[in-house]
Chains A and B, each alone.
Chain A
Amino acid sequence: MLNLTKKEISERSALRVNPCKTCQPVGAIYAALGVHKCMPHSHGSQGCVSYHRTFLTRHFKEPAIASTSSFTEGASVFGGGSNLRTGVKNVFDIYNPDIIAVHTTCLSETIGDDLNAYIQEMDVPEGKLVIHANTPSYVGSHIFGFYNMMAGFINYLSKSTGKSNGKTAIFPGFVNPGDIKELKKIANYMKVPFTMFPDQSGVMDVPMTGDYSMYPKGGTRIPEIVGLGDCKMVLALGELTSEEPASLLERKCKVPYTLLPLPIGIEATDRFVMELAQLSNEEVPYELEEERGQLVDIMLDAHAYFYNKTVAIFGDPDTVLGLTRMVLEMGMIPKYVLTGTPGDNFVRLAEKIFEQYGVEGCTAKAAGDLFELHQWIKNEKVDLMIGTSYGKSIARVEDIPFVRVGFPILDRYAHSYFPIVGYKGALRLVEKISEALMERQDRTCSDEDFEMVM
């Protein structure tokens, strides 16, 4: 099945085959869903929002809400101004959010709709807000859309009153609700008052109550986004995802930021914890020491099963970089690391990690696709694949154990509730990776190697 891929690697200049990314608007919607009582609004034709809602619904198994400007030919010729006016009025009338977060599409970008001007001229009901971000689908990937929408909120709302609110802003990067909960837990352990922005926990992981709420309890509150301008500093997690909004906030409100890798694995989590410790001047509490110790303990217990195993890692840039460090900490070799999101920094950072751990013969690529990854694997196989659901056909054809991590995961349940960040997240990754490798060994090893105790 799906064995189109040939071993001979040939350069492709124009054809993308089996992408490892998707477009900006879906990232923008996900960011906007992390704001309390916010309606994401797609300024373009209907199909886009239908796809985005489907995509998010399949990953989170939750309703993902977003409205559309419903462009037709008229709007694409004469501009989408009147569609947006009608749309905004209708959204407030029917769905009554506190804020509408408008993002553009490739269509509205190309016809040159000036969202800023439309919004300035618009009648917005008292106490309600409309903001926007430019998210052309033909630039970057969903990761760009995610941070551009964060920047949109900051641009419109964040203000500096000149008086610090004593809080630290944490930008969590493009992660699941389970990760955000873990980050909050760690910040609370470290006694750092914080604003998490955006915050999809409590929005895309809503408990079953028998009722549907279009605006669940979670999400960053609007006053908190305004208050970002008065924060002491920003911990921007994800070197390639969070810098843009953090540097905007610095330019606009003079809030300094520290850029950190996503806290995946021991070292990156240590860095996050130490930054928090510096901010609060608190000791690291026993609970966190214990988690770290348990993680190291399990890594030690199982280390023989990881040593020198080769891995292919693919997905979003910061997630992939985090996993690359993590597998190196476990003694594995990240043979191929690939992201679909364009940007030279990814390769530079990945190579720095290879160098730091002294591994050779590993390949990193940005703006790649899964066809190419498959070709690499055909030429030199790996022991394990870690990435999104889209890797499953390669894993099947090549018969490689496969651990699902990242976005999107469309074919498994409950993943978005559990973290991959923090010591707990790393512990879970160790479990998942060892399960995959040992399950494989049990299934295919010879009788002599079939063990009851592993």
Chain B
Amino acid sequence: MGATILDERKAFIINGGREKSSSSAAIGIKCDSDSLSGTVSQRACVYCGARVVLNPITDAFHIVHGPIGCASYTWDIRGSLTSGSDLYRNSFSTDLSDKDIVFGGEKKLAAAIEEVIEKHNPKLIFIYSTCIVGVIGDDVDAVCKQAEKKHGTRVISVKSPGFSGNKSYGYKMACNALLQLIEPHKNQAKVRGVNILGDFNLAGEMWILKNYLKQIGIPVVSTITGDACYETLIKAPAAQLNLVQCAGSMTYLAKKMEEEMGIPFIKVSFFGVEDTSASLIRIAEAIGTEENIEKAKQFTSTETNKLKGFLDKYRKNFEGKKAAIYVGGGFKAISLIRQFNELGIETVVVGTQTGKKEDYEIIASLVGENTVILDDTNPAELETFMKAKGANILVGGVKERPLAYKLGIAFCDHNHERKHALAGYDGVINFTKEINLSLNSPVWEYVKTQK
């Protein structure tokens, strides 16, 4: 592939600048806007955004109102684990056909909801509107309200026609659905504890975080949405503090809960030693007693010390290696840059699908002048810059994996296909091992001889 970068795309690409005034470099980047038609975009749609946020709710019926594709491509979005019901791992759809498109899909939707309620007696149903439902104008809200009234089951409409924005907008629609769910319970008495927002329990990460908080004596009221269920979700308004891990998807909900339920929030990150420790101490400081703060300091320093020998052992394997990052949100990218720094790996290319300007400012301040920063990039650009900058490993999602391999570059999935938890101190061990495994697999020897 040639290194063709379209003129229209140039504003989405900048260089980092630790040495320069950091913000001036980042302010120039264009982001948070629609993709250009005709590129091989890595981005997804509104429905996808809503689905990935809500799908981890384990005892809900997630019914996709639309043609079959939208439901089948999101069937069992993997990695999100459950300690209770596994209902969410099935795929439900109204499977709209041409007849429904002409005459409207409301009747079919109403019937589908009936069938679910009669046979399975669920507590919670989400109805996702897809592209087509937005166009044919089904009144999904009305159908949901009517079903709620008739059966007393919560039936919540998720307004997620694919074209109505991008993935970020889908996150917002998911947050609105969650608000609808918890709003009737907002006047319950406060209990001591936090909600964890924006961890989806991929590979059991929520369990790791909950365990850390237990160690420092902070109770968890509700988890949104990793390993969540109806009963725990409606307790969320009783919490004293919201912890926002995936800022891209959950800041909106946190702000709304602050406004409407008086729950303040702080942003946290559990990727890498530095971010994990800092976050735990901040949580203790925000909500805890002196004892909690002391416990947090002790716990984080013990865990950090435990990891020292481990990291030292691996660091020499990583000397001179360079990383490329292409992930969904800005906050994750920031954590990853820090984490690679901890391993002694320089990040030479970094991009996100839905990063915001303030994310890019931080990113620009964390990397060197020679690092390329990209918003909403495509494989052609990614390839060009990974080659030009000599990246040895790419961190990304499913579509980036074969691209990296074809280029002879190692890979780590930091998205739905992660095989092991990557959060917290446990995650540092898994992440380091995975980076090491991919960078140093014997298979690369054969690739070199082929080149």
| A contact set with B: CB distance below 8 Å | 1-4, 6, 10, 12-19, 21-26, 41, 44-55, 57-58, 61-63, 65-73, 75-76, 83-84, 86-91, 93-96, 105-107, 110-111, 136-139, 141, 206, 208-214, 340, 371, 390, 393
Question: In the complex, how many angstroms separate the beta carbon of A390 from the nearest chain B beta carbon?
Answer: 7
Asked if B380 and A14 make an inter-chain contact with CB atoms under 8 angstroms apart, the answer reads no
Contact pick for A69, options B37, B97, B448, CB 8 Å: B37
Q: How large is the interface on B (under 10, 10 to 19, 20 to 34, 35 or more residues)?
A: 35 or more
Asked if B45 and A57 make an inter-chain contact with CB atoms under 8 angstroms apart, the answer reads no
Residue of A nearest to B135 (CB): A110
Question: In the complex, how many angstroms separate the beta carbon of B451 from the nearest chain A beta carbon?
Answer: 4
CA–CA, A57 and B95, complex, Å: 24
Q: B132 near A: Cβ within 8 Å?
A: yes
Q: B432 near A: Cβ within 8 Å?
A: no
Q: Which of B48, B72, B101 has the most CB of A within 10 A?
A: B72
Q: B136 near A: Cβ within 8 Å?
A: yes
CA–CA, A75 and B162, complex, Å: 12
Asked if A19 and B134 make an inter-chain contact with CB atoms under 8 angstroms apart, the answer reads no
Asked if A21 and B408 make an inter-chain contact with CB atoms under 8 angstroms apart, the answer reads no
| B contact set with A: CB distance below 8 Å | 1-2, 4, 6, 8, 34-48, 63, 66-75, 86-87, 89-98, 100-101, 108-109, 111-112, 114-116, 119-120, 130-132, 134-136, 162-167, 378-380, 383, 398-399, 401-403, 405-408, 446-448, 450-451
Question: In the complex, how many angstroms separate the beta carbon of B334 from the nearest chain A beta carbon?
Answer: 24
Contact pick for A72, options B120, B163, B447, CB 8 Å: B163
Question: In the complex, how many angstroms separate the beta carbon of B372 from the nearest chain A beta carbon?
Answer: 17
Asked if B92 and A107 make an inter-chain contact with CB atoms under 8 angstroms apart, the answer reads no
CA–CA, A68 and B1, complex, Å: 19
- Residues of A within 8 Å of B101, CB to CB, are 106, 110, 136, 138
Contact pick for A16, options B46, B93, B380, B401, CB 8 Å: B93
* Known interface pairs A138-B96, A212-B383; A70-B36 also in contact (CB < 8 Å): yes
Question: In the complex, how many angstroms separate the beta carbon of A137 from the nearest chain B beta carbon?
Answer: 4
CA–CA, A16 and B35, complex, Å: 33
- Residues of A within 8 Å of B63, CB to CB, are 15
Asked if A15 and B116 make an inter-chain contact with CB atoms under 8 angstroms apart, the answer reads yes
- Residues of A within 8 Å of B109, CB to CB, are 14
Residue of B nearest to A62 (CB): B402
Asked if B38 and A69 make an inter-chain contact with CB atoms under 8 angstroms apart, the answer reads yes
Asked if A137 and B398 make an inter-chain contact with CB atoms under 8 angstroms apart, the answer reads no
CA–CA, A69 and B37, complex, Å: 5
- Residues of A within 8 Å of B94, CB to CB, are 14-16
Question: In the complex, how many angstroms separate the beta carbon of B128 from the nearest chain A beta carbon?
Answer: 12
CA–CA, A138 and B408, complex, Å: 40
Asked if B98 and A214 make an inter-chain contact with CB atoms under 8 angstroms apart, the answer reads no
Asked if A76 and B134 make an inter-chain contact with CB atoms under 8 angstroms apart, the answer reads yes
- Residues of B within 8 Å of A6, CB to CB, are 119
- Residues of B within 8 Å of A58, CB to CB, are 398
* Known interface pairs A1-B86, A4-B87, A50-B43; A73-B98 also in contact (CB < 8 Å): no
Pick 30 A–B contacts, CB within 8 A, sort by A: A1-B86, A2-B86, A15-B94, A22-B68, A45-B162, A46-B45, A49-B40, A49-B41, A50-B42, A54-B398, A66-B40, A68-B40, A70-B34, A70-B35, A70-B39, A70-B41, A89-B38, A90-B38, A94-B4, A136-B98, A139-B98, A208-B405, A208-B406, A209-B450, A210-B447, A210-B451, A211-B406, A212-B383, A212-B403, A214-B379
Residue of A nearest to B99 (CB): A138
- Residues of A within 8 Å of B68, CB to CB, are 16, 19, 21-23, 137, 141, 340
Asked if A46 and B38 make an inter-chain contact with CB atoms under 8 angstroms apart, the answer reads no
CA–CA, A211 and B114, complex, Å: 54
CA–CA, A213 and B402, complex, Å: 12
Residue of A nearest to B61 (CB): A15
Contact pick for B40, options A23, A44, A95, A96, CB 8 Å: A95
Asked if A138 and B36 make an inter-chain contact with CB atoms under 8 angstroms apart, the answer reads no
Asked if A10 and B119 make an inter-chain contact with CB atoms under 8 angstroms apart, the answer reads yes
Asked if B380 and A94 make an inter-chain contact with CB atoms under 8 angstroms apart, the answer reads yes
Asked if B380 and A214 make an inter-chain contact with CB atoms under 8 angstroms apart, the answer reads yes
Asked if A18 and B90 make an inter-chain contact with CB atoms under 8 angstroms apart, the answer reads yes
